[in-house]
Amino acid sequence: MAEKFVYFFGKTGTEGNKDMRNTLGGKGANLAEMATLGLPVPAGFTITCEFCNVYLAEGKKFTDAVKKQIADALKQTEAAMGMTYGDEKNPLLVSCRSGARASMPGMMETVLNVGLCSKTIPGMIAKSNERFVYDAYRRLIMMYSDVVMEKAEDIEPEEGKGIRVQLEKIMHELKEAKGYKSDTDMTTDDLKTLCERFKAKVLEVLGKAFPDDAMEQLYGGIGAVFKSWNGRRAISYRKIESIPDDWGTACNVQSMVFGNMGDTSATGVAFSRNPATGDNKFYGEWLINAQGEDVVAGIRTPFPINEETKNEQNKHLPSLETQYPALYKELHDIRDKLEAHFHDMQDIEFTIQEGNLYMLQCRNGKRTGTAAVVMAMDMLDEGLIDEKMAVLRVAPAQLVELLLPVLDPKEEKKATIIVKGLPAGPGGAVGKIVFTSEDAVAAAARGETVILIREETNPEDIDGMRAATGILTARGGMTSHAALVARGWGKCCIVGASDIHIDFAAKTVKIGGKVYTEGTVFTLNGTKGCVYAQAITTMDASENPRFIKFMTLADKYRTMGVRMNADSPADAKVGKAFGAEGIGLFRTEHMFYGKGSDEALFILRKMILAKDDAELQKAVNELFPFVKKSIKGTLEEMDGMPVTVRLLDPPLHEFVPQGEEQQKNLANALGITIAEIQKRGELLHEVNPMMGHRGIRLGLTNTAVTKMTIKAIFEASKELKAAGKNPKAEIMVPVTCSVNELKEAKKLYNAVKAEVGGDITIPYGTMIEIPRACLLADEMAQEAEFFSFGTNDLTQMTFGFSRDDIGGFLPEYLDKKVLKADPFQTIDQEGVGQLIQMAVQKGRSTRDHLKVGICGEQGGDPASVEFCFKAGLTYVSCSPFRVAIARLAAAHAAIKAGQCGCKK
Binding stretches for a copy of itself (CB under 8 A): 686-693, 697-698, 700-701, 735, 737-738, 740-741, 744, 769-772, 775-776, 793, 796-802, 804-805, 808-809, 812-813, 816-819, 828, 830-832, 834-835
Q: How far is the CB of 812 from a copy of itself (least distance, A)?
A: 5
Amino acid at 870: K
Identify whether the C-beta of residue 466 lies closer than 8 Å to the C-beta of residue 489.
yes
Q: How far is the CB of 134 from a copy of itself (least distance, A)?
A: 50
> What is the C-alpha separation between 598 and 659, in angstroms, rounded?
14
Identify whether the C-beta of residue 505 lies closer than 8 Å to the C-beta of residue 520.
no
CA distances from 507 to 440, 460, 499, 523 (A): 13, 19, 17, 18
Q: How far is the CB of 237 from a copy of itself (least distance, A)?
A: 21
The strand pair at 851-854 and 786-789 is best described as: parallel
Question: Quick one: 108 or 797, whose CB is closer to a copy of itself?
Answer: 797
**Annotation marks residue 530 as catalytic:** no
Question: Quick one: 498 or 834, whose CB is closer to a copy of itself?
Answer: 834
Instruction: Say which of 855, 868, 878, 900 is annotated catalytic.
Output: 855
Q: How far is the CB of 828 from a copy of itself (least distance, A)?
A: 8
Question: Quick one: 96 or 768, whose CB is closer to a copy of itself?
Answer: 768
Q: How far is the CB of 854 from a copy of itself (least distance, A)?
A: 18
Q: What are phi and psi of 37, to 5 degrees?
A: -70, -5
Residue 644, CB-side half-sphere exposure with 13 Å CA sphere: 31
**Annotation marks residue 855 as catalytic:** yes
Q: How far is the CB of 309 from a copy of itself (least distance, A)?
A: 49
Strands across the sheet with 44-47, in order? 6-9, 44-47, 249-255, 94-100, 110-114
Give 431-477 as a 3 state SS string.
Answer: EEEECCHHHHHHHHHCCCCEEEEECCCCHHHHHHHHHCCEEEECCCC
Residue 676, CB-side half-sphere exposure with 13 Å CA sphere: 14
Question: Quick one: 14 or 858, whose CB is closer to a copy of itself?
Answer: 858
Closest CA to 98 of 155, 52, 154, 152: 52
CA distances from 687 to 39, 690, 692 (A): 70, 9, 8
Residue 51, CB-side half-sphere exposure with 13 Å CA sphere: 28
Q: How far is the CB of 423 from a copy of itself (least distance, A)?
A: 43
> What is the C-alpha separation between 696 and 734, in angstroms, rounded?
6
Question: Quick one: 215 or 690, whose CB is closer to a copy of itself?
Answer: 690
Distance of CA 304 to the CA centre of its chain: 29
Question: Quick one: 545 or 800, whose CB is closer to a copy of itself?
Answer: 800
DSSP, collapsed to helix, strand or coil, labels residue 128 as: coil
Identify whether the C-beta of residue 237 lies closer than 8 Å to the C-beta of residue 104.
yes
Query: How many beta carbons lie within 10 A of that of residue 700, not counting itself?
Result: 16
Question: Quick one: 567 or 741, whose CB is closer to a copy of itself?
Answer: 741
Q: How far is the CB of 809 from a copy of itself (least distance, A)?
A: 4
Question: Quick one: 103 or 736, whose CB is closer to a copy of itself?
Answer: 736
Catalytic residues: 481, 855
